[in-house]
């Protein structure tokens, strides 16, 4: 007779779904039963709430995730908050182990003067707004004519593109109605993107960059001073295909005629952020930076030349950061759960040693930090799942392992959880809203409306 493995996974984004899928496909020695928990009423995590709506390639990822869930061998409990609606002690009573796949959804800090001024925003918060996240305000203060975006990664380009793009060109997407209304009223004319290093050291991908250059009625502005390459930069172009393509795209933009568009998107390289300048009223008035220069080894050094640009808003796109979970160790310096290949570790303050926290695992960005794409997420999950299986002797011994007992627990606490059938109802409702406007989908934004539609209580 096979052993039973009752596994809880907290986080229903790609990391959690892939972990469940890998275990179910690979494991033949146990009868596996998996429950996914998420604080949001709908699944897919940052694929739904962390990627700009005009990315068609995301549809392929959603399709793959949906195929996994629609097999019906993984249960989903949405609208369930870990630490509030269900605790670690609860999980120990009903499961053999838990994997945390909660990702990294907060903005990493940028510790420069003025970072907390009115008009200085975290990119993650802005992305959550334009993606219709149910837990952020419905409105966004789009009042700036000139805005700065600090960062040279894909999120920085997403933010810049949404700011500069004309809203009518976003209407074929699933952009929520409140977001469309906000962007339509934006007076923006210029978006300035700042990176500390040169064009050959950017973190965004060629695909993201190309999308930026396809914006209608938006001039791409680059500066010749940023393209005086040293030997290290030339070697990067010659030796790395991705860098070669990025360099080619940027130099093609340099040849374009500009001056006719109503909006401009400026790319500034070799710019080290120094200060977000107060306009005298507690609001953003300018962005100040130091011009950097190549150091000959692929890095940069300061030149002492200080520059300043008048702007009315600054978006800080310098990375994501994990969020602590009740009762779970957390590395506040790196924003991850301390772990060894996914096995969560407890640190002993007295001895300085670390030991395994039995039954508790991590995968995805909360395990390794906010780096890597879907391929990394899958390999991450495989590593973690291998340890879950091999740690059989250290599994929890739940006193109430039946699948019904978890439902009874949530219902006894009055938790309005959503399930897979509920997601299908919400999914179909959003598609119907979109069909009425000739679009693929229109997202439902308010949490209570999402829950009511999912539970058929509307």
Here the tokens at position 42 are: 């709908």
Answer with the one of 299, 320, 341 that is the final residue of a domain.
320
Last residue of a domain, one of 289, 320, 351: 320
The least confident of 44-53, 248-257, 405-414 is 44-53
Q: Give the burial string for 181-192 (b: 16+ CB within 10 Å, else e).
A: ebbeebebebbb
Examine residue 428 and state whether it is found in any structural domain, yes or no: no
Tell me: pLDDT of 59 over 70.
Answer: no
- Phi then psi dihedrals of residue 291, to 5 deg: -70, 130
> Any idea what the CATH number is for the domain that residue 262 is in?
3.50.50.60
- 141 and 249 assigned to the same domain: yes
Is residue 159 a part of any domain in this protein?
A: yes
Q: Whole domain around residue 412: which residue ranges?
A: 3-105+322-417
What are the backbone angles phi and psi of residue 353, rounded to the nearest 5°?
-90, 165
The token duo for 332 is 């506040």
Q: Does 275 lie in the same domain as 160?
A: yes
Is residue 447 a part of any domain in this protein?
no
Same domain, 45 and 189: no
Q: Which residue has the higher pLDDT, 456 or 29?
A: 456
Cα(11)–Cα(392) distance, rounded to whole angstroms?
23
Helix (H) or strand (E) holding 219: strand 218-221
| Torsions phi, psi for 417 (to 5 deg) | -80, 155
Provide the terminal-to-terminal Cα distance of the chain, rounded to the nearest Å. Answer: 45
- pLDDT above 60 for 1: no
CB neighbours (10 Å) of residue 68?
A: 18
Considering the domain architecture, whether residues 385 and 413 belong to the same structural domain is answered as yes
Question: Are residue 240 and residue 385 in the same domain, yes or no?
Answer: no
Residue 172: inside a domain? yes
For residues 11 and 90, membership in a common domain is answered with yes
Same domain, 220 and 293: yes
Q: Is residue 251 part of a domain?
A: yes
Query: Is 455 contained in some domain?
Result: no
Q: What is the pTM of this model?
A: 0.93
Residue 81 lies in a domain: yes
Q: Are residues 237 and 308 in the same domain?
A: yes
Residue 74, domain CATH: 3.40.50.720
Handedness of CA 157, 163, 166, 171 (dihedral sign): positive
**Shared-domain flag, residues 305 and 338:** no
220 and 122 in a single domain? The answer is yes
Question: Do 281 and 144 share a structural domain?
Answer: yes
**pLDDT one-digit tens code per residue, 329-338:** 999 999 999 9
**Exposure pattern of 286-297 as b/e (b: 16+ CB <10 Å)?**
bbbbbbbebeee
Mean pLDDT (whole number) for 220-238: 93
- For the chain, how many structural domains are there in total? 2
User: Which of 91-100, 252-261, 417-426 has the lowest average pLDDT?
Assistant: 252-261
Q: Which of 212-216, 309-313, 314-318 is least confident?
A: 212-216
Considering the domain boundaries, does residue 129 fall inside one?
A: yes
Residues 44 and 73 in one domain: yes
pLDDT digits (tens, 9 = 90+) for 136-189: 999 999 999 999 999 998 899 999 999 999 999 999 888 999 999 999 999 999
């Amino acid at each position: 007779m096979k052993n039973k493995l009752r596994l809880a996974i907290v986080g229903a984004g790609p990391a959690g779904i892939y972990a469940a899928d890998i275990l179910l496909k690979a494991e033949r020695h146990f009868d596996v039963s998996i429950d996914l928990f998420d604080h949001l009423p709908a699944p897919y995590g940052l694929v739904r709430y962390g990627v700009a709506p005009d990315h068609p390639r995301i549809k392929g990822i959603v399709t793959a995730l949906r195929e996994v869930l629609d097999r019906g061998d993984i249960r989903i409990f949405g609208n369930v908050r870990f630490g509030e609606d269900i605790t670690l002690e609860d999980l120990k009573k009903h499961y053999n182990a838990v994997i945390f796949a909660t990702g990294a959804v907060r903005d990493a800090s940028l510790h420069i003067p003025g970072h907390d001024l009115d008009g200085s925003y975290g990119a993650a918060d802005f992305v959550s707004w334009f993606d219709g996240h149910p837990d952020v305000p419905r409105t966004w203060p789009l009042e700036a004519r000139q805005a700065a975006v600090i960062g040279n990664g894909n999120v920085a380009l997403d933010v810049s593109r949404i700011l500069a793009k004309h809203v009518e060109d976003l209407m074929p997407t699933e952009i929520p109605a409140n977001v469309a209304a906000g962007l339509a009223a934006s007076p923006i004319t210029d978006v300035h993107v700042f990176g500390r290093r040169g064009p050959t050291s950017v973190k965004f991908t060629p695909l993201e960059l190309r999308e930026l250059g396809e914006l209608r009625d938006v001039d791409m502005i680059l500066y010749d001073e940023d393209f005086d390459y040293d030997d290290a930069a030339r070697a990067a172009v010659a030796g790395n295909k991705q860098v070669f393509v990025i360099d080619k795209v940027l130099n093609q933009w340099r040849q374009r005629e500009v001056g006719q568009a109503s909006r401009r998107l400026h790319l500034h390289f070799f710019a080290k952020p120094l200060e977000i300048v107060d306009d005298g009223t507690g609001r953003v008035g300018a962005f100040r930076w130091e011009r950097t220069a190549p150091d000959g080894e692929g890095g940069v050094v300061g030149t002492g030349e200080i520059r300043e640009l008048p702007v009315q808003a600054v978006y800080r796109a310098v990375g994501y950061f994990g969020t602590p979970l009740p009762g779970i160790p957390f590395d506040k310096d790196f924003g991850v759960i301390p772990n060894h290949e996914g096995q969560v570790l407890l640190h002993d303050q007295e001895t300085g040693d670390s030991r395994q926290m039995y039954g508790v695992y991590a995968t995805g960005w909360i395990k390794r930090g906010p780096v890597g794409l879907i391929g990394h997420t899958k390999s991450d999950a495989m590593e973690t799942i291998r340890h879950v299986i091999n740690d059989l002797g250290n599994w929890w011994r739940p006193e109430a392992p039946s699948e019904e007992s978890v439902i009874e627990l949530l219902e006894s606490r009055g938790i309005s959880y959503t399930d897979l059938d509920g997601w299908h109802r919400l999914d179909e409702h959003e598609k119907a809203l979109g069909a009425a406007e000739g679009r693929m989908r229109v997202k439902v934004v308010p949490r209570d409306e999402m829950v009511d539609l999912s539970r058929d209580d509307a």
